[in-house]
Structure 1
Amino acid sequence: MSPPIKISHFEQLKASGDLPSPKGAALAIIRLTRKEDLSLAELARVIKTDPAFVGRLVKAANGVAISPGRPIASVQEALMVVGLPAVRNMALGFSLLSNYRSGGCEHFDYERYWSGSLVMAIVCQGLGRRLRCASPDEMFCLGLLARIGELALATLFPREYSEVLVEGRARDADELIAMERKAFAMNHRELTAAMLADWGLPVIYQEVAYHFEAPLGAAFGEESREAKILDALCLAHEIAQLCLADPAARPALMEHLSPVADRTGMAPEALDTFIEEVTREWTEWGKVLQVATQRFVEPVHAQAGAAGTAKSTRPGEAPPCVPPASGVSMRVVVVERDAKVRATLRGVLERAGHRVFESDDGRHGMELALEVQPQMMLVDAHMPGVGGIALTRALRQTRIGRSIYILLLTSREDDERLIEAFENGVDDFVTKPIRSRVLAARLRAGHRVIRLQQEVERDREEIRRFAAELAVTNRRLQEVALTDQLTGFRNRRYAIDRIAQEWSASMRSRRPLSCMVIDIDNFKQINDTYGHDVGDAVLRQAASAIKLGLRSQDVVARTGGDEFLVLCPDTDLRAAMHCAERLREAVHGARVSVSRLNLRVTISVGVAERDASMPDADAMIKRADQGAYVAKAQGRDQVATVQQRVAGAAEAASAVEPTDGGAVPQVPPRETANSK
């Protein structure tokens, strides 16, 4: 069921080069993950060139790691946990977030867009774990990119889309879709699906992203995997709206949220807990990604007035919560076939201030435990079907169940039966008939154990937070070590490592690789005449113009005082010459205004492509450097290459007409730069 997308129109938009697309290291990561013979070591080397992505990948890996042991700290460990498809999608999503934080669409709220997308990503990841409908990391990326069509329209048509947004403020969603189609020949839902398809995301994610804003139009089977993912994305969108809303508007939004949550099998109490977890993780991710977030002060159902007077303790309903003497209220699941015994247990637990959830069946009790995630359970040992010991054994095999304190309710103290119970994971037992004082003492003992576990977990969290802060500091130091502080470009050290990687990749894949050496014309004269402050301003202005002229896959570094190196993967000589000419024109059209001076800056660019005669990357750079020398000798403000010329000492010295009669592909001489 492919979405009705006009591919030809999308291809026209894609050809414009303005669609949001991955850049830099993210693009290299995406390309690598498409190789059939890719090794994790090779991918790890490329990932390490982007310290920010390293931190995000490690954080994501720790978020889905099953083992509660030491945190994942290395790139290769993280790769093994999340897998190559998720790494590829993360690189895509995080690259877009980093490069499209702002734009020229006046009435498109970029900050709100990314903040909401981040909530959707976290919710989808959590629901992926709960519903087991897809990989949690792939679900994270689906949530992050599910509304990318909106960002694309804001990027492609900033003025027109701003007008559509203003006019559509008072309209409903269907009318806004119609306005988009009328203005741009396609709407943001169609554009989202087309972009996900172009990036290689599975068809199931393309279709779900297309339908989630109007789920009634999706013809998925009721219990199908597609339907579960669609429900998860719909719930993620509703929770994102709730998180971004003003506190006063949240109770009304809950009316829309609860029915959607019901479709995922999530009860109101579990939903409160889930949203608290989401907002906590939202805040943590917000710090890493520098995205605006906010925290809830109390559960959303409490804000909506849903938790104040509930008296029933059926599954999913919250009983009156009276703070216990210890100051900590627990979620307690009671699984007992006898209604009278359940009533007795409920009374003791509620008087202690705990929230109680009931079940009369072992199988349903298992489902309730996984949904509610209680701190304690009281289970009947002799239930028909799944008894208390079997239920305990099954729970201990799950990540959630391993941390639950379980009290076994038994009518006889049979030594062998009790030994079997403890060996299967029971923490303590209470005999029937229930004696309230004995039960209360057992609960207090269990509560002490739970508190100790929580303290240990808090200590672990502090250690993890410290490790994350240390990792951030290390990444920042590494970033500083590889970045030129004046221009913001990468520095020579980074360029040396990167060109070696690109050279090796080009040799293996037999794909073209080109480079450019760029010199700012008359830079020494500018420095000598006006001083280094003006020279620095010229460098910054030239760097800004160069950055605007680069393509998404190009890599630029400042390698000397007035010298820049640009690597052009998958680019032959002719294409590199066109790209170099675009850079030259971008710099030529710029003006530097500083200290009441208005200077025009120009550059000379030498271009070279890897060929069989070059033993290594240095030879290619040297060939490009010779081209820059030719450009300067012919009047500056030029693009030139010597690759089609016969090499020779006289040629290098004179840099005039080719001795072999071949033409040098270059632009005609233009007016040279001056210092006025």
Structure 2
Amino acid sequence: MIKKSVSVLLICDAKQHDEIKTTLDDARIDICFNLHWSGSLSEGLEILNNTAIDVVLLVLALLDSYGTSGLTQIRDSNPDVPVVVMVETSDAAVITKAVQNGGQDVLVKQEVTGNALARSLLFAIERQRIVQKLQTASLVDELTGLYNRRGFMNFASHYVQVSRRSRKGMLLFYADLDNMKFINDNFGHQAGDQAIVATTLILKSIFRGSDIIARIGGDEFVVLVVDTTLAFAPKILGRLREKEKDSIQPYPLSLSVGFAYYDPENPCTIQELLVKADKYMYENKRTKRNEMQESTILDVN
């Protein structure tokens, strides 16, 4: 029978590495722990960036990671990798600080047994998996699989900072699915859901994988296009109109769209950008309604 393998990054000095390895070898558990050792925090961060690691075991006695600043650096650079902290003292203040800074568990070195250490590492991995699942659930729209408003705001705020540093512009498109009430009233709410999903597929076919697409309301979508210029906007709108024509739904599927440009030379918040794009979207919707009314009058005449 092949044992399950767990990749552990051990950040400590050489003597501690030998002691911890011996302790894990004594564990009576059907798991194979593959140890990657680093004698310094800087080297450990490099290993994390280049190697698939399941869990980090950080010993706080290291000179360049002493205190919880080393733990903070690990969590900031690799938030998806759980960290178990081992300390030399049972001081409650030290242990509390380590937990507050993101440690999944804190072990006192003198009290650790092989089984206890193995369980701590495995439980840290499982807890991190649960946390990631909950985070994903809170950021993703269930019907479409797109980001929801919270997910969009989290990622978009990050990209605003990136744009400021890189001096590269962004476009924010705000789209509203037209005639949603008509679809629900005449074809049923299941058809309404299908229209939402069909819109999602259209947006995914138009925009790049690096762009952030989100459903932020019942029939409202936003897309943040990164690393682009204002001249790109008409091309996107042209593609969208072509996709609308190709729709095979039993009802007209169309979007009212507005957009706003993020200029890193004249920065604004993501909320301000949303307000601008939303304003232009409603202007587009109003124009389409007026055109439809004029068309109806002409048909009657």
List gaps (5 residues or longer) in structure 2: 25-32, 34-39, 54-80, 82-111, 292-301
Percent identity, aligned pairs only, is 31
* Structure 1 residue 635 corresponds to structure 2 residue 292: no
- Quote the residue 2:187 is aligned against: 530
Q: Distance in 1 between matches of 2:42 and 2:189?
A: 46
CA displacement at 1:78 relative to structure 2: 9.3
- Quote the residue 2:253 is aligned against: 601
CA 1:458–1:581 in structure 2 vs 1: closer, same or farther (change >3 Å)? farther
- Quote the residue 1:330 is aligned against: none
CA displacement at 1:627 relative to structure 2: 2.3
Amino acid at match of 1:602: S
- Quote the residue 1:63 is aligned against: 8
- Quote the residue 1:621 is aligned against: 274
Amino acid at match of 1:603: L
Match of 2:211 among 548, 554, 577: 554
CA displacement at 1:619 relative to structure 2: 2.4
Question: What does residue range 192-341 of structure 1 map to in structure 2 within 5 Å?
Answer: none
Q: Distance in 2 between matches of 1:540 and 1:484?
A: 11
Indicate if the aligned counterparts of 2:262 and 2:268 stay in contact, CA closer than 8 A.
Answer: no
Indicate if the aligned counterparts of 1:559 and 1:565 stay in contact, CA closer than 8 A.
Answer: yes
Indicate if the aligned counterparts of 2:156 and 2:212 stay in contact, CA closer than 8 A.
Answer: no
- Quote the residue 1:489 is aligned against: 146
Counterpart of 1:577 in 2: which secondary structure?
helix
Amino acid at match of 2:45: V
List gaps (5 residues or longer) in structure 1: 1-58, 72-76, 91-120, 123-287, 289-454, 593-597, 637-653, 656-676
The TM-score with structure 1 as length reference comes to 0.28
CA 1:520–1:80 in structure 2 vs 1: closer, same or farther (change >3 Å)? farther
CA displacement at 1:80 relative to structure 2: 6.8
Match of 2:155 among 498, 513, 532: 498
Indicate if the aligned counterparts of 1:605 and 1:631 stay in contact, CA closer than 8 A.
Answer: yes
CA 1:588–1:484 in structure 2 vs 1: closer, same or farther (change >3 Å)? farther
Amino acid at match of 1:573: L
Match of 2:124 among 467, 483, 486: 467
CA displacement at 1:505 relative to structure 2: 2.0
Indicate if the aligned counterparts of 1:607 and 1:623 stay in contact, CA closer than 8 A.
Answer: yes
Match of 1:573 among 213, 218, 230: 230
Q: Distance in 2 between matches of 1:532 and 1:487?
A: 15
Amino acid at match of 1:470: R
CA displacement at 1:65 relative to structure 2: 2.5
CA displacement at 1:603 relative to structure 2: 1.4
Q: After superposition, what is the alpha-carbon deviation per residue over 1:525-571, rounded to whole angstroms, capped at 9, x for unaligned? A: 21233332221111112112211221122111111111111011111
The TM-score with structure 2 as length reference comes to 0.58
Q: Distance in 1 between matches of 2:140 and 2:239?
A: 24
Question: What does residue range 55-454 of structure 1 map to in structure 2 within 5 Å?
Answer: 63-67=8-12, 81-83=44-46, 87=49
* Structure 1 residue 582 corresponds to structure 2 residue 235: no
Q: Distance in 2 between matches of 1:630 and 1:525?
A: 20
Q: Distance in 2 between matches of 1:538 and 1:78?
A: 51
Q: After superposition, what is the alpha-carbon deviation per residue over 1:612-636, rounded to whole angstroms, capped at 9, x for unaligned? A: 6664322222222222223223327
- Quote the residue 2:262 is aligned against: 610
Counterpart of 2:222 in 1: which secondary structure?
strand
CA displacement at 1:572 relative to structure 2: 1.1
